[in-house]
Protein backbone atom coordinates (compact mmCIF):
# COMPACT_ATOMS: atom_id res chain seq x y z
CA UNK A 1 0.00 0.00 0.00
CA UNK A 2 1.24 3.46 -0.91
CA UNK A 3 -0.36 6.52 0.68
CA UNK A 4 0.34 10.21 0.09
CA UNK A 5 -0.48 12.68 2.86
CA UNK A 6 -0.75 16.40 2.16
CA UNK A 7 -1.18 19.34 4.50
CA UNK A 8 -0.29 22.99 4.27
CA UNK A 9 2.14 22.52 7.16
CA UNK A 10 3.06 20.19 10.01
CA UNK A 11 -0.49 18.99 10.62
CA UNK A 12 -0.03 16.31 7.98
CA UNK A 13 2.84 14.81 9.96
CA UNK A 14 0.48 14.13 12.87
CA UNK A 15 -1.89 12.32 10.51
CA UNK A 16 1.00 10.37 8.94
CA UNK A 17 2.17 9.20 12.37
CA UNK A 18 -1.29 7.81 13.11
CA UNK A 19 -1.46 6.12 9.69
CA UNK A 20 1.96 4.50 10.15
CA UNK A 21 0.73 2.97 13.40
CA UNK A 22 -2.36 1.63 11.62
CA UNK A 23 -0.49 0.47 8.49
CA UNK A 24 3.09 -0.40 9.59
CA UNK A 25 3.91 -2.09 6.27
CA UNK A 26 2.65 0.73 4.05
CA UNK A 27 4.74 3.36 2.31
CA UNK A 28 3.42 6.67 3.63
CA UNK A 29 4.87 9.85 2.13
CA UNK A 30 4.09 13.44 3.07
CA UNK A 31 4.23 16.80 1.31
CA UNK A 32 3.40 20.27 2.59
CA UNK A 33 3.14 23.83 1.37
CA UNK A 34 4.72 25.85 4.12
CA UNK A 35 5.49 28.62 1.64
CA UNK A 36 1.80 29.55 1.62
CA UNK A 37 0.75 28.64 5.15
CA UNK A 38 -1.79 29.29 6.57
CA UNK A 39 -4.49 28.27 4.10
CA UNK A 40 -7.27 29.49 6.35
CA UNK A 41 -7.00 33.09 5.15
CA UNK A 42 -6.53 32.33 1.43
CA UNK A 43 -9.18 32.69 -1.29
CA UNK A 44 -10.86 29.52 -2.62
CA UNK A 45 -9.02 29.82 -5.95
CA UNK A 46 -5.69 30.11 -4.15
CA UNK A 47 -6.44 27.07 -1.98
CA UNK A 48 -7.31 24.98 -5.06
CA UNK A 49 -4.21 26.12 -6.93
CA UNK A 50 -1.79 25.66 -4.03
CA UNK A 51 -3.22 22.25 -3.15
CA UNK A 52 -3.03 20.92 -6.71
CA UNK A 53 0.55 22.12 -7.14
CA UNK A 54 1.64 20.68 -3.79
CA UNK A 55 0.26 17.19 -4.44
CA UNK A 56 1.80 16.85 -7.91
CA UNK A 57 4.42 14.38 -6.59
CA UNK A 58 1.50 12.07 -5.70
CA UNK A 59 -0.27 12.35 -9.06
CA UNK A 60 1.86 9.81 -10.90
CA UNK A 61 -0.70 6.98 -10.63
CA UNK A 62 1.43 5.09 -8.10
CA UNK A 63 -0.38 6.16 -4.92
CA UNK A 64 -3.35 4.07 -3.79
CA UNK A 65 -4.86 6.98 -1.90
CA UNK A 66 -4.03 10.65 -1.47
CA UNK A 67 -5.12 12.04 1.89
CA UNK A 68 -5.80 15.76 2.13
CA UNK A 69 -4.87 16.13 5.78
CA UNK A 70 -6.07 19.69 5.72
CA UNK A 71 -9.62 20.69 6.53
CA UNK A 72 -9.37 23.86 4.47
CA UNK A 73 -8.03 22.05 1.39
CA UNK A 74 -10.73 19.41 1.76
CA UNK A 75 -13.47 21.99 2.07
CA UNK A 76 -12.34 23.98 -0.95
CA UNK A 77 -10.40 21.68 -3.27
CA UNK A 78 -11.39 18.02 -2.94
CA UNK A 79 -14.43 18.16 -5.24
CA UNK A 80 -12.31 19.87 -7.89
CA UNK A 81 -9.54 17.29 -7.51
CA UNK A 82 -11.95 14.37 -7.79
CA UNK A 83 -13.37 15.83 -11.01
CA UNK A 84 -9.93 16.60 -12.44
CA UNK A 85 -8.33 13.26 -11.49
CA UNK A 86 -11.22 10.77 -11.62
CA UNK A 87 -8.95 7.71 -11.48
CA UNK A 88 -7.21 8.81 -8.29
CA UNK A 89 -8.68 7.99 -4.88
CA UNK A 90 -8.80 10.91 -2.44
CA UNK A 91 -9.70 11.09 1.23
CA UNK A 92 -10.43 14.42 2.84
CA UNK A 93 -10.73 15.55 6.43
CA UNK A 94 -13.76 17.43 7.68
CA UNK A 95 -14.89 18.63 11.12
CA UNK A 96 -16.55 15.73 12.95
CA UNK A 97 -19.98 17.31 13.35
CA UNK A 98 -21.78 13.97 12.97
CA UNK A 99 -19.72 12.32 15.70
CA UNK A 100 -20.04 15.32 17.99
CA UNK A 101 -23.81 15.25 17.59
CA UNK A 102 -23.88 11.67 18.90
CA UNK A 103 -21.61 12.47 21.85
CA UNK A 104 -23.00 15.72 23.21
CA UNK A 105 -25.24 15.68 26.26
CA UNK A 106 -25.75 19.43 26.49
CA UNK A 107 -26.56 20.02 22.82
CA UNK A 108 -23.70 22.51 22.62
CA UNK A 109 -20.47 21.75 20.78
CA UNK A 110 -17.46 23.78 19.70
CA UNK A 111 -15.72 23.60 16.33
CA UNK A 112 -12.16 24.89 16.26
CA UNK A 113 -11.33 25.50 12.60
CA UNK A 114 -9.93 28.05 10.18
CA UNK A 115 -12.08 30.89 8.83
CA UNK A 116 -12.00 29.39 5.32
CA UNK A 117 -13.22 25.99 6.56
CA UNK A 118 -16.04 27.58 8.54
CA UNK A 119 -17.09 29.65 5.53
CA UNK A 120 -17.07 26.73 3.09
CA UNK A 121 -20.14 25.13 1.56
CA UNK A 122 -18.98 21.68 2.65
CA UNK A 123 -18.90 22.77 6.29
CA UNK A 124 -22.29 24.43 6.00
CA UNK A 125 -23.69 21.20 4.57
CA UNK A 126 -22.24 19.22 7.48
CA UNK A 127 -23.91 21.59 9.92
CA UNK A 128 -27.27 21.51 8.17
CA UNK A 129 -27.18 17.71 7.86
CA UNK A 130 -25.94 16.72 11.31
CA UNK A 131 -25.90 19.81 13.51
CA UNK A 132 -29.01 21.84 12.74
CA UNK A 133 -30.39 20.98 16.20
CA UNK A 134 -27.17 21.91 17.99
CA UNK A 135 -25.74 25.11 19.40
CA UNK A 136 -22.39 25.22 17.58
CA UNK A 137 -19.77 27.61 18.90
CA UNK A 138 -17.06 28.61 16.42
CA UNK A 139 -14.28 30.37 18.37
CA UNK A 140 -11.70 32.55 16.69
CA UNK A 141 -8.76 30.20 16.11
CA UNK A 142 -7.50 32.07 13.07
CA UNK A 143 -3.92 32.38 14.35
CA UNK A 144 -3.54 28.94 15.94
CA UNK A 145 -2.12 27.20 12.86
CA UNK A 146 0.52 29.89 12.42
CA UNK A 147 1.48 29.77 16.09
CA UNK A 148 1.71 25.97 16.11
CA UNK A 149 3.66 25.92 12.84
CA UNK A 150 6.18 28.39 14.22
CA UNK A 151 6.34 26.96 17.74
CA UNK A 152 4.92 30.15 19.22
CA UNK A 153 1.95 28.64 21.01
CA UNK A 154 0.40 30.92 23.62
CA UNK A 155 -0.93 28.65 26.38
CA UNK A 156 -2.84 31.49 28.06
CA UNK A 157 -4.67 32.29 24.82
CA UNK A 158 -5.64 28.64 24.30
CA UNK A 159 -6.68 28.35 27.93
CA UNK A 160 -8.92 31.42 27.69
CA UNK A 161 -10.62 30.03 24.57
CA UNK A 162 -11.22 26.55 26.01
CA UNK A 163 -12.45 27.96 29.33
CA UNK A 164 -14.94 30.17 27.50
CA UNK A 165 -16.21 27.23 25.45
CA UNK A 166 -16.75 25.08 28.52
CA UNK A 167 -18.41 27.92 30.40
CA UNK A 168 -20.87 28.28 27.52
CA UNK A 169 -21.77 24.60 27.87
CA UNK A 170 -19.80 22.94 25.10
CA UNK A 171 -19.17 19.33 26.13
CA UNK A 172 -17.58 18.29 22.81
CA UNK A 173 -14.70 20.17 21.18
CA UNK A 174 -14.10 19.31 17.52
CA UNK A 175 -10.60 19.92 16.19
CA UNK A 176 -11.23 21.03 12.62
CA UNK A 177 -7.61 21.65 11.60
CA UNK A 178 -4.86 19.03 11.64
CA UNK A 179 -2.43 21.54 13.13
CA UNK A 180 -4.54 21.40 16.26
CA UNK A 181 -3.90 17.65 16.58
CA UNK A 182 -0.49 18.58 17.97
CA UNK A 183 -2.14 20.33 20.93
CA UNK A 184 -4.98 17.85 21.52
CA UNK A 185 -3.49 16.76 24.84
CA UNK A 186 -3.19 20.40 25.96
CA UNK A 187 -6.78 21.16 24.98
CA UNK A 188 -7.97 18.03 26.81
CA UNK A 189 -5.99 19.09 29.86
CA UNK A 190 -7.50 22.57 29.79
CA UNK A 191 -11.01 21.18 29.32
CA UNK A 192 -10.39 19.19 32.51
CA UNK A 193 -13.20 16.69 32.05
CA UNK A 194 -15.77 19.31 31.08
CA UNK A 195 -15.59 18.41 27.38
CA UNK A 196 -14.29 15.59 25.21
CA UNK A 197 -11.90 16.52 22.41
CA UNK A 198 -12.24 14.71 19.07
CA UNK A 199 -10.29 14.60 15.80
CA UNK A 200 -10.41 12.17 12.85
CA UNK A 201 -7.05 10.35 12.89
CA UNK A 202 -8.52 6.90 13.60
CA UNK A 203 -11.38 7.46 11.16
CA UNK A 204 -8.91 8.15 8.34
CA UNK A 205 -7.38 4.70 8.74
CA UNK A 206 -10.81 3.06 8.63
CA UNK A 207 -11.68 5.05 5.51
CA UNK A 208 -8.49 3.92 3.76
CA UNK A 209 -9.47 0.30 4.34
CA UNK A 210 -13.01 0.91 3.07
CA UNK A 211 -11.84 2.79 0.00
CA UNK A 212 -9.41 0.09 -1.06
CA UNK A 213 -11.99 -2.68 -0.81
CA UNK A 214 -13.42 -3.38 -4.31
CA UNK A 215 -17.00 -3.15 -3.06
CA UNK A 216 -16.58 0.17 -1.26
CA UNK A 217 -17.98 3.46 -2.49
CA UNK A 218 -16.63 6.98 -2.20
CA UNK A 219 -18.62 9.06 0.28
Residue 201's Cβ-count burial label (10 Å; 0-12, 13-18, 19+) is: buried
Residues 6+ apart with CB under 8 A from 86: none
Residue 112 appears among annotated catalytic residues:
no
Residue in 149, 146, 205, 155 with CA at minimum distance from that of residue 185: 155
Residues 6+ apart with CB under 8 A from 84: 52
- Of 70, 112, 141, 166, which is the active-site residue? 70
Ordered DSSP codes for 117-178: HHHSHHHHHHHHHH-TTSEEE----TTHHHHHHTT---HHHHHHHHHHHHHTT--EEEE-SG
For residues 5 and 36, give the distance between their C-alpha atoms in angstroms, rounded to a whole number: 17
- Residue 148: count of CB within 10 angstroms of its CB: 22
- Of 112, 141, 166, 177, which is the active-site residue? 177
68 touches 122 (CB < 8 A): no
Helix, strand or coil, per DSSP, at residue 2: strand
Residue 70 appears among annotated catalytic residues:
yes
The residues that are catalytic are 70, 177
Amino acid sequence: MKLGVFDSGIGGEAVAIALRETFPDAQIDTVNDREHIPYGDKTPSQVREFTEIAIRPFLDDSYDVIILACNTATAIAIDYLRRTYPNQKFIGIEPMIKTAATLTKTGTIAVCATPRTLASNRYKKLVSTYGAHLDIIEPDCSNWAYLIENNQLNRLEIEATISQLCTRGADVIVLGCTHYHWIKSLISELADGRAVVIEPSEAIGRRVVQLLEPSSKVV
